[in-house]
Amino acid sequence: MSYVETSVIVAALDPSNPLREAATRFLESEGVKLVSDPVLLDLAYTVSGDDELLSGIAERLGLSRGDAAASMIIYVVKRLGLIYRSARGSVRLPLLGDTPRPIAEALVLAAQRLGYRRLLHVAYARALREEGNPIYRFVTLDQGFEDARELLRDTGIELVVLGGSSASPPG
What is the C-alpha to C-alpha distance for residues 161 and 6, in angstroms, rounded to an integer? 12
Contact 26, 141 (CB under 8 A): no
Q: What is the pTM of this model?
A: 0.86
Average pLDDT for consecutive 10-residue bins of the chain (171 residues)?
Answer: 94 91 91 94 86 85 89 91 90 83 78 80 91 94 90 93 59 40
Q: What is the pLDDT of residue 8?
A: 95
115 contacts 142 by C-beta, under 8 angstroms: no
Domains of the chain: 2-36+83-161 (3.40.50)
Note the pLDDT of residue 165: 44
What's CA 146's distance to the chain center, in Å? 16
Looking at residue 167, its pLDDT comes to 44
How many Cβ atoms are within 10 Å of 108's Cβ, its own excluded? 13
Which residues are bridge partners to 92 per DSSP?
Answer: 98
Question: What pLDDT is recorded for position 166?
Answer: 43
